Amino acid sequence: MQIKHKYLIVILCTLAAVIISFIIALVHSSTDIPLRTVIQALFSAEGDLARYAIIIRRIRLPRIALSFLVGSGLALAGVVFQGVIRNPMVDPYIVGISAGAGTAVTFAIVYNLSFSFFYFSTIPLFAFVGALLTVMLVYNLARVGSKIPVMTFLLAGVATAFMLDAVRSFVMVLGTQDLQRVVFWLMGSLSGTSWSDITMILPYYLLGLLPIIFFANDLNLILMGEESAHHLGLNVEKVKKLLIAGATLVTAAVVAVSGSIGFIGLVVPHIARLLIGPDHRKLLPLAAVLGGVFLMLSDMLARSLLPPMEIPVGIITALVGGPYFIYLLRRRKSESW
Amino acid sequence: MIKMLEIDKLKFSYDDKNTIIDEINLAINQQEFTAIIGPNGSGKSTLLKNISNLFTPDSGAIYLDSKNLNRIPPRELAQKMSVVPQDTNISFNFTVYDIVMMGRHPYQGRWGRVQDRDREKVEEALALTDTRQFRDRDLNSLSGGERQRVIIARALAQDPEILLLDEPTSSLDINYQREIFDLLSYLNQEKNLTILVVSHDLNLSSQYCSRLILIDRGRIFAGGSPEEVLTEENIGQVYQTEVKVRQNYLTGRPYVVLMPGRAECVPARLQQDFKIHLISGGGTGQELLQQFYERNYHISCGVLNQGDSDWELARRLGCEIVDIAPFSYIEESDLQRNREKIEQADLVVVSELPFGHGNLKNLEQLSGFSDKQIFLLQERNIAERDYTGGQAEKLWQQQLDLHGTRVFTGQQQMMEQIDEMADRAGDCS
């Protein structure tokens, strides 16, 4: 019973955290707007409130919503990849997603390419397609017959990422005049978010979420080892492929609008696992909420620490997440996760 | 008796070249407690992986309850058959209860909602395996034997008709080995569970199982009761090792006793005790050198010219060499050194080397050893490789008359003869 109790407390705490961070993020930014004004501006845009209504509704709200989506997406994908690959040191970018997206975006920026497709504007489109193509390549490199040995998948991803990063660096050297834009994108940022960013990625995000929700329980069996999962009646290869596809789609959607924001996909799954244990039916929702809160607060700091300048949020997540992760590592007693 | 499992002309290979399972026919009846035994690499684990549908046979088929096993949907199969794999390491912190509950997966819905029946079955499995006290512990905090019992509990929670185990005791102490096999025996007799275990422990299998299947190189070598299978001849042939089979007077089952090789009985070649002196040159000794080296013989060579290809190889293989400068003739002092080597050697081998005036002394010297074991290799006639105008041929023919000298027309035959000599030279006979 004690375990159930703990789960309840954790749920309540995270819910409280979501609400509190939402309010803080709404109020606090490069310029603070008092909470009372914020609430008024949410419901009316008359007179003096018109200015605040625009800031709140068109700038802060979509940005907060997107930061939550991006944070939870990365955390979910991190949990899935760590589970499928059964390696706690894996993050969603490991299979080449960020390298693929980064390379494609660098091409687009340096060569001033401009396309759009289904609400996608140029940069998100390149990031999205680059990420998906890369994972498909890695997947096919790792495929043996109809099977995907996870270690090969991981290593193929790392190798491909190295090569793509080299290509990207080369393109960056050629296009030095655009370096700042490229670097800023690579560091990951949510600046300039609008509602259209959210509507753009939401369908892919939700589609990717489906297998993750659907196979959450099966992911537990995969943690037992693929052979054991097979003996317990699971069609391991099928589940594995669908989970990889889902996590890839979510990550690619997220990367398209935020660049590669580091550390969330690695650290948040661990924090969640420490709080609630390895059962994915509980772990996935908790990781999603924690990831969302974490990025929401990090982005709030990114906006407000050095006004009027914005710090790329990837810097904040790494600076906050890194030390915490090291703390967890030092505190960890047993060998398992 | 009702057939539970039937294996029909099963063949399997990982790649096209190496057949691991070379046609196996086997039927397992209900309630049998069968052990598959055999040496490492005989294919017993691969057979189990075929039976558990982890691998699909190249040809032939496996039937479970008369249904082709490969066509049974995974969930349905998991309700009938459960498997305890060899590796039970789990690197994530699940509690024992969670892990055993996973055995109920084939009966649960998509999100694993736990029903009363699931709880009952899990409790039953925990009780049967005496793992209730670990229920809330992490699997990784348990000892090897305890962990194995938990994995067996998970298999039992699947409520199977047949239980497969792959080397369930391979890393356990004897008290745990007994514990696991006692448990299996109980499940077999009291719970009517059909059990198939792959084991390399002949004695455990013999004491507990009603039937043994001895596998060798992908085929069934023998099958039947322990008495029928565990005979000195069978084990001698399959494991290529000498054993005695006794009866365990408490259980009446056969008991295999390993005969340790006495230290002084190690074959001569293992001690590098068998000394061969090789007379060769011009590359004619390379294959011989290689073969002597692989068989662990002590090799000396002479008299060789430095830079000769045989000399190069002998040097690389670390042989003792009596050598002279390139293109020079053999002098009396060289022959003296060579004589020592010949005297020390158990056997002198002469390759099919061509003879010229430079190395003729090698042959000449041999005529002084009438009782020495000397093997001459002669696939090509000596006349064809005599560049001394008949002198070498004459010496060669004289040599053949000597008591200890034998001539071979094939390298293969000669090697066999040498091996036999070397084995005889050991102290084992």
In a domain, B173, yes or no: yes
Please indicate, yes or no, whether residues B346 and B408 belong to a single structural domain of this protein: yes
Instruction: Please tell me which of the candidates A214, A234, A336 has its beta carbon nearest to residue B92.
Output: A336
Categorize the per-residue pLDDT at B381 as very low, low, confident or very high, splitting at 50, 70 and 90: confident
CA distances to A131, B277, B341, B386, B411 from B406, in Å: 75, 15, 20, 19, 13
* End-of-domain residue from the set B230, B258, B286: B258
Task: Find all residues with CB under 8 Å of B66, minimum gap 6, and list them.
Answer: B3, B6
Closest residue of chain B to A270, computed from CA coordinates? B92
Quote the minimal CA–CA distance from A87 to chain B in Å: 9
Please indicate, yes or no, whether residues B401 and B297 belong to a single structural domain of this protein: yes
Instruction: Please tell me which of the candidates B78, B91, B92 has its beta carbon nearest to residue A231.
Output: B78
Mean pLDDT split into 10-residue runs, chain A, 337 residues: 70 89 84 81 77 82 91 94 84 85 86 68 82 89 81 88 90 82 81 82 90 92 88 90 90 86 88 86 92 92 83 87 78 57
Q: How many domains does chain B have?
A: 2
B79 to chain A, any CB pair closer than 8 A? The answer is yes
Please indicate, yes or no, whether residues B28 and B140 belong to a single structural domain of this protein: yes
Please indicate, yes or no, whether residues B243 and B338 belong to a single structural domain of this protein: no
CB A250 within 8 A of CB A77: yes
Please indicate, yes or no, whether residues B273 and B179 belong to a single structural domain of this protein: no
Cα distance between residue B348 and residue B326, in whole Å: 23
Please indicate, yes or no, whether residues B13 and B144 belong to a single structural domain of this protein: yes
Residue B119 amino acid letter: R
Task: Find all residues with CB under 8 Å of B370, minimum gap 6, and list them.
Answer: B402, B403, B404
In a domain, A228, yes or no: yes
Q: Which of residues 107-146 of B touch A (CB under 8 A)?
A: 108, 110-112, 138, 140-141
- Closest to B401 (Cα-Cα) out of B353, B357, B359, B366: B366
Please indicate, yes or no, whether residues B101 and B181 belong to a single structural domain of this protein: yes
Which H or E run contains A181?
Answer: helix A179-187
Task: Find all residues with CB under 8 Å of A43, minimum gap 6, and list them.
Answer: none
Instruction: Tell me if the bond preceding B348 is cis, omega within 30° of 0.
Output: no
Q: What is the CA radius of gyration of chain A?
A: 20
In a domain, A130, yes or no: yes
In a domain, A336, yes or no: no
* End-of-domain residue from the set B229, B258, B287: B258
CA-CA-CA-CA torsion for B162, B166, B172, B175, nearest 10 degrees? Answer: 30
Please indicate, yes or no, whether residues B244 and B216 belong to a single structural domain of this protein: yes
In a domain, A51, yes or no: yes
> Which pLDDT value is given to residue A286?
92
Categorize the per-residue pLDDT at B193 as very low, low, confident or very high, splitting at 50, 70 and 90: very high
**Which chain B residues are closer than 8 Å to A214 by Cβ?**
110
Cα distance between residue B140 and residue B92, in whole Å: 8
The mean pLDDT value for B142-170 works out to 91
Distance of CA A73 to the CA centre of its chain: 4
Cα distance between residue A149 and residue A154, in whole Å: 9
Tell me: pLDDT of B429 over 50.
no
> Which pLDDT value is given to residue B262?
56
B22 φ, ψ to 5°? -115, 80
- Ordered strands of the B298-305 beta sheet: B320-324, B298-305, B275-279, B347-350, B374-377, B405-408
CB B87 within 8 A of CB B166: no
Tell me: pLDDT of B19 over 90.
no
Which of A7-16's residues contact partners 24+ apart within 8 Å by CB, and which partners? A7/A276, A7/A282, A10/A275, A10/A276, A10/A286, A11/A286, A14/A286, A14/A289, A14/A290, A14/A293, A15/A289
Query: Mind giving me the DSSP string for A6-41?
Result: HHHHHHHHHHHHHHHHHHHHHH-SSS---HHHHHHH
In a domain, B263, yes or no: no
Please indicate, yes or no, whether residues B11 and B41 belong to a single structural domain of this protein: yes
Strand partners, B304: B323
Please indicate, yes or no, whether residues B393 and B338 belong to a single structural domain of this protein: yes
Tell me: pLDDT of B280 over 80.
yes
Cα distance between residue B354 and residue B359, in whole Å: 9
% of chain B with per-residue pLDDT over 70:
96
Burial pattern B310-321, b for ≥16 Cβ within 10 A else e, equals bbebbeeeebeb
In a domain, A337, yes or no: no
CB A64 within 8 A of CB A241: no
Cα distance between residue A80 and residue A57, in whole Å: 33
Name which of A90, A226, A232, A238 to mutate to probe chain B: the one with the most chain B Cβ atoms within 10 A of its Cβ: A232
User: Which range of residues forms the domain containing residue A97?
Assistant: 2-331
The mean pLDDT value for B59-88 works out to 90
**Which chain A residues are closer than 8 Å to B99 by Cβ?**
224
Please indicate, yes or no, whether residues B251 and B289 belong to a single structural domain of this protein: no
Name which of A4, A220, A231, A282 to mutate to probe chain B: the one with the most chain B Cβ atoms within 10 A of its Cβ: A231
Inspect the interface and report whether the beta carbons of A227 and B54 lie closer than 8 Å: yes
Please indicate, yes or no, whether residues B179 and B226 belong to a single structural domain of this protein: yes
Q: How many domains does chain A have?
A: 1
Instruction: Please tell me which of the candidates B75, B111, B138 has its beta carbon nearest to residue A217.
Output: B111
> Which pLDDT value is given to residue B84?
92
> Which pLDDT value is given to residue A214?
92
In terms of Cβ atoms closer than 10 Å to its own Cβ (0-12, 13-18, 19+), residue A61 is: middle
Residue A236 amino acid letter: V
- Token couple for A323: 């030390």
Quote the minimal CA–CA distance from A154 to chain B in Å: 18
More confident residue, A11 or B376: B376
> Which pLDDT value is given to residue A4?
62
User: Which range of residues forms the domain containing residue B275?
Assistant: 268-425
In a domain, B356, yes or no: yes
More confident residue, B428 or B249: B249
CB A138 within 8 A of CB A160: yes
> Which pLDDT value is given to residue B271?
63
Could you tell me where the DSSP H helices lie in B252-325? 286-294, 309-316
B275-279 and B347-350 as β-strands: parallel, antiparallel, unpaired?
Answer: parallel
Strand partners, B219: B216
Place of tokens 């105008």: B389
Tell me: pLDDT of B308 over 50.
yes
pLDDT in tens, B77-133: 999 999 998 877 776 778 899 999 999 999 988 777 888 999 999 999 999 888 999
In a domain, B78, yes or no: yes
Task: Return the CATH number at B199.
Answer: 3.40.50.300
Cα within 13 Å of Cα(A24), Cβ side:
17
CB B376 within 8 A of CB B396: yes
More confident residue, B241 or A166: A166
Cα distance between residue A230 and residue B164, in whole Å: 14
The mean pLDDT value for B354-367 works out to 87
* End-of-domain residue from the set B222, B239, B258: B258
CB B374 within 8 A of CB B404: yes
Inspect the interface and report whether the beta carbons of B138 and A336 lie closer than 8 Å: yes
| Helix, coil or strand: residue B1 | coil
B3-13 and B19-29 as β-strands: parallel, antiparallel, unpaired?
Answer: antiparallel
Cα distance between residue B243 and residue B241, in whole Å: 6
Q: What is the DSSP letter of B330?
A: P
Cα distance between residue A180 and residue B338, in whole Å: 81
Inspect the interface and report whether the beta carbons of B94 and A278 lie closer than 8 Å: yes
B91 to chain A, any CB pair closer than 8 A? The answer is yes
Task: Return the CATH number at B325.
Answer: 3.40.50.450
User: What value of ipTM does the predicted structure carry?
Assistant: 0.80
**Which chain B residues are closer than 8 Å to A230 by Cβ?**
52-54, 74
CA distances to A24, A37, A38, A55, A304 from A32, in Å: 10, 10, 10, 11, 9
B269 φ, ψ to 5°? -65, -30
- Token couple for B301: 């060579």
- Closest to B62 (Cα-Cα) out of B49, B75, B74: B49
Q: How many CB atoms lie within 10 A of CB B285?
A: 28
In a domain, A220, yes or no: yes
Residue A3 amino acid letter: I
In terms of Cβ atoms closer than 10 Å to its own Cβ (0-12, 13-18, 19+), residue B170 is: middle
B162-166 and B405-408 as β-strands: parallel, antiparallel, unpaired?
Answer: unpaired
A31 φ, ψ to 5°? -125, 135
Task: Return the CATH number at A304.
Answer: 1.10.3470.10
Cα distance between residue B34 and residue B210, in whole Å: 6
